[in-house]
Every structure is written in C-alpha cells, then in structure tokens.
Amino acid sequence: MLELKDVRKTFNPGTINAKKALQGVDLHLNAGDFVTIIGGNGAGKSTVMNAIAGLWPIDSGTIKINGKDVAGLPEHKRAKYLGRVFQDPMMGTAATMEIQENLAIAARRGNHRTLRWGISSKEKKMFREMLAVLGLGLEDRMTAKVGLLSGGQRQALTLLMATLKEPKLLLLDEHTAALDPKTAAKVLELTDNIISEKKLTAMMVTHNMRDAIAHGNRLIMMHEGRIIFDVSGEEKKALTVDALLEKFSQSSGQEFSNDRALLS
C-alpha cells in the first residue's frame, strides 16, 4: 500500500540552520492498516506526512503508493491518492466559500476540473445526507460560509472532504490537537467510524499516548527523524503509557519530551 524506503530530508542544507528532519525512514503499510504515530517535539512526524504529500521534494529514498513511485510528483498530483486533515482547522477548508462549495471541490479531487457547473443537485442531496450523519446541524446550513463554523465543525468538515473521494491513504496530522477535549473526542470518534466504514488505510499523528494506544492496529514512535519503535496486533493492544515511556527511553537514551503530550 504505502512504502517508504530510506527517506531522507534536510531543511536549509549547508547553512547554520541545517536540520536533518528525516534520517532514513523505512515504513511499509498494508492495505487497511491504521497507524498511530507518536514522538517528541520536532521528531519528524509532520515531516513524514509532508514528504508523502509532496510539499517539497525529498533528498533521497523512495515513496510508493500502491506500487507507484510518487516521489517525483508535485503535491497537487499526489492529492489524487491522499486525503489530508491538518492540525490547524483553518488549513483544510476555504473560509470564504460555502460548505457545499467546499465539498464540491473535494468531490473532484483527482479529477479533471471541467467547465461543467461546479455542483449538481444530485451532489447537494448527497452532501446533505453526509452532513446529517455528523450530527452537527450542518445539513441545514449548506450555503453558509465555512468561516462561520467553529474549529470542531471545520475539522469534521475537513475529514468529510478528505474521505469524500475515497483516498488510498488518509493522513491525519494532530487533527484534534487544536480542539477542546470534548470536541476532540467527538472528532476522533468520527475518524474511527469513517476509517472502519470505508476500510481506509490511515496514518494518524497524535500527542495523546492513550489515543495512540486506543486507536488503530499499529503504533510507531519517531525520534530524531527515525522510526524507533513499531508495534502492531496483540502486542500493541497490550501497550500501556508507562510501557511506551520505558520503550522510548530505552531506544533513545532520553526522557520523552513533548510539551503537549498527555502521559496519563
């Protein structure tokens, strides 16, 4: 499904600000895998996601999605395979456009955009039903500007947009981190539902260790641009936060540091 081989990336190479953000990342995901990713601040979690999404070219290594090497493709071409939700609720939706317009744009991800009308009445009906499932009352506000929505509503909408056109891989980068705990839990539940319903392959970065343990079938831990720990199946189910912290200091020789990490 997804195959990363020895992916490396240095930011600002050759300057005093040079930062080796990825130092040889290897990762193989099977179809249907739901991986949670944890790690300290600056471990390279977002950078892995951005490398897959193609925000910039990687220095070396290969990135394959469904066997196709995508490392040379620009971001908008890789979008065909990817659904993405970001930490910042502002990033995934267009504030000055209507809810239904945002969805219509997402419904055409990976398609050629023609001079046909931008939204059909059939789509409007479909969007209404999908929004109703969220239970946020958005189905009655389809022509409202997205800028009027709360952070949680925007994240739920972004999630819908990311999965409307079924992606080969869903990338979630701390997508609940900017929300209050109650809203975060709701969006996370929604995430679980969508992933299991559509049987998606997904990667989810989270700073909450309990969430990382409770969700998905596999967990990886990153440190200084490398994957230092990778568990799945029964072993993952049996994990505890303490065991994770122990594992971290063993592998890295350091204390786990993430100023937002919820450890208990």
Partner 1 sequence: MINYLSSLPAACTQGIIWGIMAIGVYITYKILDIADLTVDGSICTGAAVCAMMVINGQPMWLALIASVIAGMLTGLVTGIFHTFMGIPAILSGILTQLILWSVNLKIMGAANQSLSATKYNLLISRLNLDRSIIILQLLAIALIIVLYWFFGTEFGSSVRSTGANLNMSRAQGINTSFTKIIGLVISNGIVALSGALLAQYQGNADINMGKGAIVIGLAAVIIGEALFGWLCRNNFALKLIVVVLGGIVYYIVYTTVIYIGLDADLLKMLSALLVALFLAVPYWKGKYFSGVKNVEKRALKQEKKAAKKAARKNKKEVA
Ligand X SMILES: Nc1ncnc2c1ncn2[C@@H]1O[C@H](COP(=O)(O)OP(=O)(O)O)[C@@H](O)[C@H]1O
Of positions 21, 63, 82, 187, contacts partner 1 by CB under 8 A: 82
Residue numbers 73-102 binding ligand X by CB under 6 A: none
Site string for partner 1, 88-127 (x = CB under 8 A): --xxxxxxxx---xx-xxx-xxxx-xxxxxxx--------
Of positions 161, 169, 194, 220, contacts partner 1 by CB under 8 A: 161
- DSSP string for 189-226: HHHHHHHHHHT--EEEE-SBHHHHHHSSSEEEEEETTE
The size of the interface with ligand X (CB under 6 A), counted in residues, is 12
Q: Is 47 in the site for ligand X (CB under 6 A)?
A: yes
Q: What is the CA radius of gyration of the chain?
A: 19
Q: Which part of the chain contacts Mg ion (CB under 5 A), choosing from 41-49, 92-100, 130-138, 231-239?
A: 41-49
In the sheet with 19-29, reading across from the earlier edge strand, the strands are 19-29, 2-11, 60-65, 68-69
Q: Is 57 in the site for partner 1 (CB under 8 A)?
A: no
Q: Which part of the chain contacts ligand X (CB under 6 A), choosing from 11-19, 90-98, 121-129, 244-252?
A: 11-19
Nearer to partner 1, 99 or 221 (CB): 99
Of positions 27, 43, 184, 200, contacts ligand X by CB under 6 A: 43
Question: Which are the contacts of 218, defined by CB distance < 8 A and separation ≥ 6?
Answer: 33, 34, 35, 36, 230, 231, 232, 233, 236
Q: Is 220 in the site for ligand X (CB under 6 A)?
A: no
Q: Is 148 in the site for partner 1 (CB under 8 A)?
A: yes
DSSP label at 42? T
CB of residue 4 to ligand X, shortest distance in Å = 14
Q: Is 240 in the site for ligand X (CB under 6 A)?
A: no
Q: Is 190 in the site for partner 1 (CB under 8 A)?
A: no
Nearest to 196 by CA among 215, 175, 174, 221: 215
Nearest to 43 by CA among 226, 197, 242: 226
DSSP label at 92? S
